[in-house]
Amino acid sequence: MTLVDSDVISRVEIELKKIMDPEFVLTGHETILYEYDGSVERARPDVVVVPSSTQEVMSIMQIAARYSVPVVARGAGTSLSGGAIPLQRGIVLSTTRMNKIIDVDLRNRRAVVQPGVINLDVSAEVNPQGFQYTPDPSSQKASTIGGNVATNAGGPHTLAYGVTTNHVLGLEFVTGDGRLVKIGGISRDVPGYDLVGLMVGSEGTLGVVTAITVNLMRIPESVRTMLAVFDSVDRATQTVSRIIAEGIIPAAMELMDQGCTRAVSSWMPEVNLPTDAGAVLILEVEGVEAGLDEDAERIVQICNDSEANEVRLANSDLERGELWAARKGAFGAIGVLSPNYYVQDGVVPRTRLAEVQRRVNEIGRGRGLQIVNVFHAGDGNIHPIILFDSNEQGALDNVMEAGEEILDVCIEAGGTLTGEHGLGMEKNKQLPRLLSRSDIDAMLAIKDIFSPNGLLNPQKVFPPGMSCRLF
């Protein structure tokens, strides 16, 4: 790891304070809050800047390029793959002050927002007019749109509506050498290369996003939400495949195993989740009122045919809200089970979920680790949560190695390394197990164009050393 000389950092600090309010150029002990995100790693930056405008971001990047100082863009710090960790120290560029909804155009169903806008705040702005921003990661009360763009975040409703890239029409961003670039923004079908698709999911390695044009959708006319209870994860995951095979595409199919359900039940007893069940599925269908009951009834029948112990229908908005609060609060509830936990994120073919989950649990038992599971069953995006105590000698290494084994299982099953959390610094070294050298070289050639100095979020996405093509 190459660190920037302290004299250089001092000069950078002086220049940064000339181009923006010195109050928002942080050094020393003030940077401690920026040395971690939602992952298990830490590294403290030399300087933290909190710009309020695109022009300030451009100036920051120009200064960083002039002094060859790495820059890590940071939203709310909810990354679960170490995406916001400044491995080479340098500058952390926080977008939290760039939190304005710039424009809402309901006639054309789009809005322009700054990267620091909280995900849920977009829907809150347009809900009264009957619209919503559909991507809904579990962290939507805290995570920012900029961070969602960086990792191509998903969520419970990914099955029906897709991930972040399916809802971003345009971007404004600043390159590694301080140039401003605007792409897309009017419609999905724009001439030339799909640069918006390239930027979404690039994890801050190609540019610092300063504005996002998002697609807005009508709030569905009606919704039916159900809770199906099963003896085992196997039966629950097999039911998911059967529902899809019947030609039904629910808006969401979310699974929690017994360990997760017990944690949530302890934290939110009012939801009355069954703590003796092997797994529960939250299923949701939505759309026009006509025909929706028939879809819900077919799902209930499939669940019963798959030997569900019980299928409940939420009879009110309150009951529906409680079910989703339980699901989206799962990660927080896990905190009652262990001092620390490590969340993994992989994707497997839906038909192999049961097999993969068995192997995940075998990995846990083999390493003496408790693993609880919550995942987007509809699109095969699993989130094993590995419990541990960081005070125990070697515990973190054991957990990280277990995470790598789990991802190897995903690859062997025909899946991939991430569904929404990104590769960051925790899964990047496994990329060569999934992609060929020529595949990675092609990506690095693109990265060189947008960040010719290699200063944007270094040592992320690609394994250390590969960023310099040193295979």
pLDDT the model gives residue 470: 36
Segments of the chain with pLDDT less than 50: 468-471
**Please, how many CA atoms are within 13 Å of residue 48, restricted to the half-sphere of its CB?**
26
Q: In this structure, are 203 and 232 located in the same domain?
A: no
Please report whether residue 29 resides in a domain.
yes
Q: In this structure, are 57 and 33 located in the same domain?
A: yes
pLDDT the model gives residue 471: 30
Domain of 390, CATH number, reads 3.30.70.2740
pLDDT the model gives residue 3: 82
Residue ending a domain, among 218, 241, 269, is 218
Of 409, 351, 418, give the one whose Cα is nearest residue 383: 418
| Torsion angle in degrees (nearest 10) through CA of 275, 277, 279, 280 | -70
Residue ending a domain, among 285, 312, 332, is 332
Pairwise CA distance, residues 200 & 358, whole Å: 33
Please report whether residue 1 resides in a domain.
no
Q: In this structure, are 212 and 179 located in the same domain?
A: yes
Q: In this structure, are 106 and 212 located in the same domain?
A: yes
Pairwise CA distance, residues 374 & 156, whole Å: 11
Q: In this structure, are 239 and 213 located in the same domain?
A: no
Tokens representing residue 98 in the block: 């760039």
Please report whether residue 259 resides in a domain.
yes
Q: In this structure, are 78 and 144 located in the same domain?
A: no
Q: In this structure, are 436 and 363 located in the same domain?
A: no
Please report whether residue 150 resides in a domain.
yes
Domain of 243, CATH number, reads 3.30.70.2190
Backbone angles phi, psi at 196, to 5 degrees: -65, -45
pLDDT the model gives residue 223: 96
* pTM listed for this prediction: 0.94
Please report whether residue 67 resides in a domain.
yes
Cβ-based burial of 465 (10 A; exposed 0-12, middle 13-18, buried ≥19): exposed
Q: In this structure, are 325 and 352 located in the same domain?
A: no
Place of tokens 């295979």: 471
Q: In this structure, are 213 and 226 located in the same domain?
A: no
Q: In this structure, are 208 and 107 located in the same domain?
A: yes
Please report whether residue 135 resides in a domain.
yes
Q: In this structure, are 206 and 302 located in the same domain?
A: no
CA angle 345, 349, 355 (to 5 degrees): 85
Q: In this structure, are 243 and 317 located in the same domain?
A: yes
Please report whether residue 424 resides in a domain.
no
Count the domains in the chain: 5
Query: How far does the chain reach from its first CA to its final CA, in angstroms?
Result: 17
pLDDT the model gives residue 427: 93
Tens of pLDDT, residues 67-115 = 999 999 999 999 999 999 999 999 999 999 999 999 999 999 999 999 9
pLDDT the model gives residue 192: 86
pLDDT the model gives residue 460: 96
CB within 8 Å of 100: residues ≥ 6 apart: 113, 114, 117
pLDDT the model gives residue 222: 95
Of 383, 378, 317, give the one whose Cα is nearest residue 160: 378
Please report whether residue 46 resides in a domain.
yes
For residue 114, give Cα distances in angstroms to 9, 54, 63, 455: 28, 9, 22, 23
pLDDT the model gives residue 336: 84
Domain of 47, CATH number, reads 3.30.43.10
Residue ending a domain, among 284, 299, 332, is 332
Q: Which domain holds residue 44?
A: 6-94
For the chain, the average pLDDT equals 94
Packed helices 395-412 and 353-366: angle between N→C axes, nearest 10 degrees: 150
Domain of 128, CATH number, reads 3.30.465.10
